[in-house]
Structure 1
Amino acid sequence: MNLTNVYPSLEGKVVLITGGASGIGANMVEAFCRQKAKVAFIDILDDCAEWLIEHTTATENCTTPRYYHCDLRNIRLLQKTIVEVQAELGPVNVLLNNAADDDRHDFRTVDVDYWDERIAVNLRHHFFASQAVYSDMKEMGGGSIINLGSMSWYATQGGMPGYTSSKAAIEGLTRGLARDMGPDNIRVNTLVPGWVMTKRQLEDRIDDRARKTISEAQCLKQLVVPEDISAMALFLASDDSRMCTSQHFIVDGGWV
């Protein structure tokens, strides 16, 4: 699937994407590079990041992203990394808080350390990354923060309460920050993907039973792919969505 929309307001903008080396994040990195933005992405998957940089460099009319190795569970390191991004690329115009981990876990076996680690992986860095780019956006007269949510908790999906709790909380964080940052013309929204056919999902979780579930649950019978999420991210990052804030935008094929 090729994205066709061009957003002139994104050209030259500094876009920071967390968890950008693989899956939805990698697709968003490429999508913003195709808009000729200055893209920085944070991850710990060095091999995947190297491949993505080589891929975008070889792609016609595509800027080359810059990779920053950082474990987002380490907030001080995250803050330091964002300072490096600002020093090397300039003030951050767009932040996509994408990084997350939906590993399954049984609520009966979760201890305090594991619960705290799930929150650190799936929620905490959203707040501190947003805090770190706030001054840039205020000084520039505005910006866009996009938090990646999940339809899993809407669908009452079990087997990963640390993940679903974090994703539900992200929508509360979005609405609170939208109110606090609105006077500075900073827009904060949640982008809520459905069951997206990333490489990991296709390899680990998509079988005939899963395809049957998707077909029965979605109003639209086509599979949701990473480009569908990137298409919404581009719109929410661009000036075309200038009056969209404090909202959640669901891209799930109409999951019932």
Structure 2
Amino acid sequence: MAESVTAAAEDRFARYPSLQERVVLVTGGGSGIGASLVEHFAHQGAKVAFLDIAREASEALAAGLAGEVRHTPLFLPCDIREIAALQRAIGEAAERLGPVGVLVNNAARDDRHTWAEVTPEYWDEMMAVNLRHHFFAIQAVAPGMKALGGGSIINLSSISWLIPSTGLPAYVAAKAAIVGLTRTMAHELGDSNIRVNAVLPGGVLTERQQRLWRTPEYDRKILNSQCIHRDLLPEDVARLVLFLAADDSSAITNQTHVIDAGWI
């Protein structure tokens, strides 16, 4: 069960002064890892905007944080598959909060499928929801980051392409491509002091995973594959992302950071 960012948790884990008042944009922030990201950044004193297609869960997240944090997160409804809508939402976030200093490309959907049933239309859908928006979100925030004198971009990939996983080849292909995109954009943007890193989670126990894919047998397989035999939770990923967003990691770019309790 994922823990909330309570006062006790804040005392236990790191605080990053450089994240206070920094504008952070999270895609897919309404649930799962994304919601934990929103919560953790908000508790660091950041000005957080997050995009999601799920209105009810996203509005509840923002409302639940109101009064607990310095800046109530700004929820902007958006289907990240629609690039024009994505660009408008990023523009609105910058207009209302200021230039984006941290971008976390988190939105994804790990639908299961067999390789034999994939059609060109389904392939394009998987690329749209898992890969394409990463690039166009980077393109949209980069000018503002340059004007700020730098920034941090964190792209959420997965260990699925390293295992490699089966039963979802289009998703795995997209997650592998994110690492390539991360590396080239780190070189493209490095002269502007914009850092680009990838985070590769393992088997994170989210509500969606529990509802759709996790079974007692699959849980045992994951735990037995890991060096550390405990559930990997959304907040584990969030705390790594906080570090990569903060100035503490100002010399780290062009890297892939695996967080999987030692699965691979």
TM interval, short-chain normalised:
over 0.9
**Paired residue for 1:176?**
184
Q: TM-score, normalised by structure 2?
A: 0.94
In the TM superposition, 1:39-50 aligns within 5 A as 39-50=48-59
Choose the corresponding residue for 2:103, options 82, 87, 95: 95
Equivalent-residue separation in structure 1 for 2:70 and 2:205 (angstroms) = 24
Deviation at 1:200, TM superposition (A): 1.2
Choose the corresponding residue for 1:199, options 196, 207, 215: 207
Deviation at 1:141, TM superposition (A): 0.7
Deviation at 1:58, TM superposition (A): 4.5
1:56, 1:62 within 8 Å by CA — same for their partners in 2?
A: no
**Paired residue for 1:55?**
64
Q: Which piece of structure 1 moves more, 125-134 or 75-84?
A: 75-84
**Paired residue for 1:160?**
168
Encode CA deviations 1:76-130: one digit per residue, 9 max, x unaligned. 1111111111111110000000000000011111111110010000000000000
**Paired residue for 1:146?**
154
Task: Determine if the alignment matches structure 1 residue 66 to structure 2 residue 106.
Answer: no
- The runs of 5 or more residues in structure 1 that have no matched partner are none
**Paired residue for 1:221?**
229
Overall identity of the aligned pairs, in %: 49
Encode CA deviations 1:127-154: one digit per residue, 9 max, x unaligned. 0000000001111110000000001111
Encode CA deviations 1:148-179: one digit per residue, 9 max, x unaligned. 00011111111111110000000000000000
Supply the RMSD in Å over aligned alpha carbons.
1.0
Deviation at 1:202, TM superposition (A): 1.8
Equivalent-residue separation in structure 2 for 1:132 and 1:72 (angstroms) = 13
SS in 1 for 2:66: helix
SS in 1 for 2:84: helix
Task: Determine if the alignment matches structure 1 residue 245 to structure 2 residue 253.
Answer: yes
- The runs of 5 or more residues in structure 2 that have no matched partner are 4-8
Deviation at 1:235, TM superposition (A): 0.1
1:44, 1:71 within 8 Å by CA — same for their partners in 2?
A: yes
Equivalent-residue separation in structure 1 for 2:166 and 2:221 (angstroms) = 15
Q: Which piece of structure 1 moves more, 95-104 or 205-214?
A: 205-214
When the two structures are aligned, how many residues end up with a matched partner? 255
Choose the corresponding residue for 1:9, options 15, 18, 38: 18
Choose the corresponding residue for 1:33, options 20, 37, 42: 42
Q: TM-score, normalised by structure 1?
A: 0.97
Deviation at 1:62, TM superposition (A): 4.8
Equivalent-residue separation in structure 2 for 1:206 and 1:132 (angstroms) = 36
**Paired residue for 1:83?**
91
Task: Determine if the alignment matches structure 1 residue 124 to structure 2 residue 132.
Answer: yes
Alignment CA distance shift 1:229-1:62 (3 Å): farther
